[in-house]
Structure 1
Amino acid sequence: MVQIFGTAKSPGTLKALRFFKERGIKPQLVDLQRRAMAPGEIARFVQKFGLSALIDTGSKAYERAGLAYLRLSDEALIQRLLDEPQLMVQPLLRLGATLTIGWDEAVWRNWYQHQRRVG
């Protein structure tokens, strides 16, 4: 099952939901405003992409938080992302062990083909 981690107001999250729904796949939305990501879940994304790839440096939330000027440990930064999901690039997607960050249509199309074969 495709899991989409993001906030319900995020254009990227809404776009990802629409992508899969248009293809008849019902993804599971994990709304990060309602439920924080599990530490183990975010650790998977950090391990694959690196912590800096998860941070949306172009967001208003990033600017307001002044993160460009703060020196935080990785643990403190991860906690900040969990507490303030609008600081993260969205959406984060997972299908089994495969992960993506942001819009990645090529990978999603492969997932779609896989879901059609299995489901």
Structure 2
Amino acid sequence: MIQIFGTLKSFDVKTAQRWFAERRIPVQFVDLKEKEMSRGEFDSVLDSLARTLGSRADAIEEMTDKKSKDYASIAYLDDSEKADKLFENQLKLMKQPVCRNGKNAATVGLAQKTWEGWK
């Protein structure tokens, strides 16, 4: 089952939902305003991105919304602290949407090329 984590206000989340709906691919939407990712879900996404990008530090950078007004609170932290800060402030600091296909595949932001392989 594909999960989309984000908020309904996010244009990119709506775009992702529409992309999957147009292809009749069922998804579970998780509104981060109501329920944030569990530590296990967060680590699963981080590990999946790390495998794709090459390192956990690169995965954290990819997941971080550099346009967020709260970005300064994470920008200069040590890599080990960044993951915790990102987990604790998902709504404010994380790029949306986070799409997860099982435990081994995940994307952050719009990634239609990757999603095409998820059918």
Query: What is the CA-CA distance between 1:89 and the residue it aligns to?
Result: 0.7
2:99 equivalent in structure 1? 93
Matches within 5 A, 1:4-83: 4-49=4-49, 50-62=59-71, 66-67=72-73, 71=77, 73-74=81-82, 76-82=84-90
Single out whichever of 18-27 and 31-40 deviates more from structure 2: 18-27
Inter-partner Cα distance in structure 1 for 2:19 and 2:65: 22
AA matched with 2:10: S
Structure 1's consecutive aligned runs of 4 or more residues displaced over 3 angstroms after TM superposition are: 68-72
1:8-27 deviation per Cα after TM superposition (whole angstroms, max 9, x unaligned): 11111111000011111231
Inter-partner Cα distance in structure 2 for 1:28 and 1:36: 14
Structure index of larger Rg: 1
Contact kept, 8 Å, 1:81 with 1:88, in 2: the verdict is yes
Partner SS for 1:74: helix
Query: What is the CA-CA distance between 1:40 and the residue it aligns to?
Result: 0.8
1:28-55 deviation per Cα after TM superposition (whole angstroms, max 9, x unaligned): 1010010010001111222233222211
Inter-partner Cα distance in structure 1 for 2:98 and 2:46: 11
1:110 equivalent in structure 2? 117
RMSD: 2.0
Partner SS for 2:89: helix
Partner SS for 1:67: helix
AA matched with 1:94: R
- Evaluate the alpha carbon distance shift between residue 41 and residue 21 of structure 1 in structure 2; reply closer, same or farther with a 3 A threshold: same
